Structure 1
Amino acid sequence: MPVGGGTVEICVNEELDYRPIESNFDKELNLRMTEKGNSVITGTAFARDHGNNKLQVVNIQRAQYAPKGTVVSILPNSAYIEEWKAVNKKIRKGKKLPEVPIDPNVAACIKTTKVYDDKGHFEFTNLMPGEYILMTSFGYTHRYSYQYYAGTNYLMHPSGAVLSSNNVYNTANGASGATAEIETKVTIKKDGDKVDVNLKDVR
């Protein structure tokens, strides 16, 4: 703001206690959640691709399993994670402020495993009771069949008049690349439980 004599004073908010996210991230607790329990999460990662009905596209292979070796990640859910997501969602909607970076300690608490067969199966062990976020991403080939217009058949009168007509459609096969981005929540109710989940991306 102008303060006289051609001088402009700029006020900057330098409050060190400014906290866009009120919740704290407890690194030690989150590490224990994925290392000190007796519970197991098993699952299947796949995309269920139904195609685009408006284009008369029909997927040939509905369950597109995550390939062997696909990385699946797990992170204990918490008040901090939920608040961080909510705050950044609000910021993105307003399109005026930069998003709040996540606590760097979160990365150390993400545990990973890999799909171990051709049917998208994976497993996490040593988990404590609580809610978890499971995440994965993988590419696959979307193979499909579709119908296309091939012409029109006409039933003609000897005089040359058209008595009736009908469109003719043929069927062909095609393929395209696709990517599945999957995130879901899973709850373990008590220590020692084994929970089986479908980690799926429905299109």
Structure 2
Amino acid sequence: MRIASSVLTMAFVCLAGIVLAQRGPKPPKIIYPEFAFDSLTAREQLKRGKGTIKGIAFTKPKNNFGVKPLLAERIYATNTKIVLFPVTPYFDAWLALRRKKEGKHTYVYMSDEAFRFRLETTTDSYGNFTFTEMKPGRYFLQAIIGWSTSHSRNVYTGSGYSGYGRTDYYTPEYYSVGHSDRVEEFVEIKESGEVVSIKLH
């Protein structure tokens, strides 16, 4: 009986290990604002007006302390999507929740209905973008800028022997590391026909 019990226990432990391995890493938690979205307010703010928002989107590489130096070279958002949201009470609730709760394993999303009320444009090769026919009001602009850095390392390729002993040989190997930065900015058109210029970085 003891042998049978031990075998059963081992089988249970192995099975539990397999189940845990299949589960993998814990999936991220997704939360939404507990705030009613008013589509009429968002729709009204996105009606056509006479204002213009002109901007340039870029980022900068961070140093070893995670800071973007002021004098660092700009990385322009080439052919990158720029998204514009009207700043409504729902948006304020979403942003406040994101600032409070978003982290490594938690994402704060808008409702599908709220996300539909947005405008989009694409930058040119130098990061320039424009939103035309905008009404007076506050807006929030966002973009994800992808870029990469080049690196090299020496890879061992073999050894040779002579009367002086062993010599190891290395060959440089080049590779790239991908990065992505989320850049965001508020902008306000105060009067009809105004042209507002911003830097999205």
RMSD of aligned C-alpha atoms? 3.5
Q: Which of 110, 116, 121 is matched with 2:128 structurally? A: 121
Q: Structure 1 35/49 Cα, relative in aligned 2: closer, same or farther at 3 Å?
A: same
- Please state which structure has a larger fraction of its residues in helix: 2
Q: Structure 1 111/92 Cα, relative in aligned 2: closer, same or farther at 3 Å?
A: closer
Task: Give, in whole Å, the separation in 1 of the partners of 2:111 and 2:65.
Answer: 43
Q: Structure 1 102/179 Cα, relative in aligned 2: closer, same or farther at 3 Å?
A: closer
Matched, 1:65 2:76: yes
Q: Which residue does the alignment assign to 1:17?
A: none
- Please state which structure has a larger fraction of its residues in strand: 1
Q: Structure 1 179/28 Cα, relative in aligned 2: closer, same or farther at 3 Å?
A: same
Deviations 1:62-120 (A, max 9, x none): 1100112x110000112221123334554568x9xx988633321221110001x2210
Matched, 1:83 2:54: no
Count of residue correspondences: 144
- Report sequence identity in percent: 26
Task: Give, in whole Å, the separation in 2 of the partners of 1:86 and 1:50.
Answer: 26
TM-score normalized by the length of structure 1 = 0.59
Q: CA deviation at 1:24?
A: 3.7
Matched, 1:110 2:144: no
Q: Any stretches of 5+ residues in structure 2 without a counterpart? A: 1-31, 152-174
Q: Which residue does the alignment assign to 1:142?
A: 149
Q: Structure 1 52/175 Cα, relative in aligned 2: closer, same or farther at 3 Å?
A: farther
Deviations 1:123-149 (A, max 9, x none): 1111111111101002112369xxxxx
